[in-house]
Amino acid sequence: MKELLIKRKGKFIQYLAASFMFNIDRYVQMGIFALIMWAVEKGRDANYTVVVIITILASVYSAISFVVSRMLRIGYMRDTILDVRKRAFEKIMRMPFKQYSKKGKEIYLSNLINDINQFESDFFISFLNFLINIGMFVISFIILLFLDPILAAGMFGASVLIYLVSSIFSKKTVALKEEVSTSSEEFTQEISNTFHGLEILKLNRIEDKFLQKSLSSIRKVERKKCISSVFTEGQRNIIQILSFIVSSGVMVYLCINFKNGISLALATFIFQLASVMSFNLVEVFPLWNAMKASISIYHKITDDEVEDKEKKEEKVDERIHSFDFQNEIVVSDVTFAYDNKSILNHANFSIKKGKKYLIKGVSGAGKSTLMNLLSMTFDNYEGEIKVDGVEYKTMVEKTFHDKVAFIYQDVFLFEDTIRNNITLYKDLPKERVEFAAKACELDSVIADKKLGLDEPLSENGKNLSGGQRQRISIARAIAKQAEILFVDEGTSSLNEDLGKEIEKVFLSLSQTVIAISHRFYEGVTDQYDYVLEIKNGQILQYEAKEYFGEAVTC
């Protein structure tokens, strides 16, 4: 956080100076009030014309200083918030896939929107007022130390007492802010899920049920915010009561001294100084707690602390081998549980290079889990997964991901050219791109386009058919020269004919293919080499022709 604030040292100093302008304004006001009391005390001997002129000048200064202070601060605040947004986004973009996949996209969206907005609205308001109030406290204490050392010592003691009371609320304030952040994440996820299925809700006329569910989520978020606000105001009120008691004591002390000959103007000025020390603490400590809560949110959305911790647990120094797939991947005695539910139980099978594997099993059997294990997304398994004798857990993940590709049911295309969607913005040879397009039968589509490979696509490829979009995702894998292709329901969103054609493309590739599919295309699906069927935590490996009931000829 310190690094963020002083990144622009010049502007930060300017921000501090702008904040200090409020302090000067406050002391000018205190001086004016003391001057008025002096005039009252002097009666007819006072020069009221001078008092009026000084008061008018002070009012003009107050208005000008407010505008100037705002202008000096706003640029620094804007740039700092922009840095927070950049850091939060960079954290997500640089996050390893294994780490990224542990949370839903909606959580990251909530971090980028809700948490940053909360930080923006809470931190700088708290920071500005903290600087103003702590500045007023320190300056008032120094002045009071010269005017009345005994009262200054008493006020310092009272300040320590107020600090001790305030510190009781610190942890709870941070915890409540974190609860607001978490509930916002859950709300964003809930709303996102509702919008994903909004078409089905409307067609089946069940909007009301989900409306009530969404309203319940909204109420939960607002309840958390309300509790946090009430708690913050509660601690402020408690400190205000203590400050009022202290101010009453100061008033009694000054009345005694006034009888002993202290002037009304000086008594007024001293009382204002003591009140500043007392009542500014009402704001300082709750503001400090609010700042700590905001800083906690900042670290949550920008720090790689969790990832670094997990890397240490993984013993990154043991990941010394590169992924080099020459012959086979052997899975031996692998056991895996997810959310305390056993998925695989001492499973054994092998994957031979260049062969095509279809993962089958009833819903919930663990097909996606098996895919995640083979694709290095999960690595907290027991047993061994070895590539030509080298254990998965000792391999550098980057070398693995450089040589594998993923094809999903939902294809994401950039609003860019066909070429850039195939190459993913890498500088690949023209021949390799054209070969990839031809291998997945995309060349005829490109030939029909006026600009060929440089034909721009609309948002997420809306100007292409479902089959064409899927072929581009396959072309990506071929152009990447991936050795293993992981296909998760790659044809489920396509009609029967298109799905069959795309399945043929998968099976015609030279790469190793590991696929999950619920669909059976007669005369095509049985062309896989092997079927891996998950039953009761075991992996049963069959030749595809045997599994699908066809005779195996020798």
For position 209, what pLDDT does the model report? 64
Question: What domain count does the chain have?
Answer: 2
pLDDT at 424 over 80: yes
Residues 164 and 55 in one domain: yes
The H or E element that residue 343 is part of is strand 341-352
Q: What is the mean pLDDT of the chain?
A: 78
Beta partners for residue 60, in sequence order: none
Task: Tell me the three-class secondary structure of 122-144, residue by residue.
Answer: HHHHHHHHHHHHHHHHHHHHHHH
Mean local confidence (pLDDT), 117-133:
76
37 and 144 fall within a common domain: yes
Structure tokens at 315: 């013993």
What are the two backbone dihedrals, phi and then psi, of residue 336, each rounded to the nearest 5 degrees? Answer: -150, 135
Give the rounded distance of the alpha carbon of 526 from its chain centre: 44
pLDDT at 501: 82
**Looking at the domain assignment, is residue 307 inside a domain?**
no
The last residue of one of the domains, among 267, 302, 337, is: 302
Residue 231 shares a structural domain with residue 351: no
For residue 469, tell me if it sits in a domain: yes
Do 260 and 400 lie in one domain? The reply is no
Do 43 and 132 sit in the same domain of this protein?
Answer: yes
Supply the DSSP string of 285-311, one letter for each residue: HHHHHHHHHHHHHHHHHH--HHHHHHH
Return all residues near 398 (Cβ < 8 A) that are at least 6 apart: none
Which residue among 302, 317, 345 closes a domain?
302
- Domain membership of residue 309 (yes or no) is no
DSSP assignment of 408-454 equals ESS----SSBHHHHHHTT----HHHHHHHHHHTT-HHHHHHSTTGGG
pLDDT at 335: 92
Specify whether 233 is located in the same domain as 379.
Answer: no
What distance separates the 2 farthest-apart alpha carbons in the chain? 125
How would DSSP label each residue in 33-89?
HHHHHHHHHHGGGS-HHHHHHHHHHHHHHHHHHHHHHHHHHHHHHHHHHHHHHHHHH
- Determine the distance from the C-alpha atom of residue 321 to the mean position of all C-alpha atoms in its chain, rounded to a whole number: 32
Evaluate if pTM is beyond 0.75. no
Q: What is the pLDDT of residue 88?
A: 80
Provide the β-strand partners of residue 534.
539
Q: Can you tell me the distance from the alpha carbon of 372 to that of 100, in angstroms, rounded to the nearest whole number?
A: 13
CATH number at residue 28: 1.20.1560.10
* Domain hosting residue 356, numbered range: 328-547
Region at 549 (left for phi over 0; alpha for psi -120 to 50; beta for the rest): left
User: Would you place residue 553 in the very low, low, confident or very high pLDDT band (cuts 50, 70, 90)?
Assistant: very low
Listed in sequence order, the residues at least 6 apart from 471 whose beta carbon sits closer than 8 Å to its beta carbon are 440, 441, 442, 445, 502, 505
Q: What is the pLDDT of residues 291-324, one digit of tens each?
A: 777 777 777 777 765 445 444 444 444 778 888 8
Of 252, 286, 302, which closes a domain? Answer: 302
Average pLDDT rounded to a whole number, residues 31-40: 73
**Residue 45's pLDDT band (boundaries 50, 70, 90)?**
low
Q: Which tens digit of pLDDT belongs to each residue from 49-85?
A: 777 887 888 788 778 877 877 777 777 777 777 888 8
Question: How many CB atoms neighbour CB 522 within 10 A?
Answer: 8
- Same domain for 88 and 200, yes or no, is yes
Long-range contacts of 166-169 (CB under 8 A, 24+ apart): 166/235, 166/239, 166/281, 166/285, 166/286, 166/288, 166/289, 167/285, 169/231, 169/235, 169/285, 169/286, 169/289
Task: Read off the CATH number of the domain in which 371 is found.
Answer: 3.40.50.300
Can you give the three-state secondary structure of 224-272, one letter per residue?
Answer: HHHHHHHHHHHHHHHHHHHHHHHHHHHHHHHHHHHHCCCCHHHHHHHHH
- How far is residue 515's CA from residue 338's CA, in Å, rounded to a whole number? 21
Residue 312 lies in a domain: no
Distance CA 241, CA 248 (A): 11
Residues 335 and 232 in one domain: no
- Summarised one tens digit per residue, pLDDT across range 401-422 is 888 888 887 777 888 888 888 8
Q: What is the pLDDT of residue 314?
A: 47
Residues 130 and 71 in one domain: yes
Measure the CA–CA gap between 532 and 516, rounded to whole angstroms: 10
Considering the domain architecture, whether residues 295 and 348 belong to the same structural domain is answered as no
Residue 133 has a pLDDT of 78
Both 14 and 121 in a single domain?
A: yes
The verdict on residue 159 lying in a domain is: yes
Residue 320 lies in a domain: no
- pLDDT value at residue 355: 92
Domain contains 317: no
pLDDT in tens, 180-213: 777 777 777 666 666 655 555 555 565 666 667 6
| Domain annotation covers residue 224 | yes
Residues 92 and 230 grouped into a single domain: yes
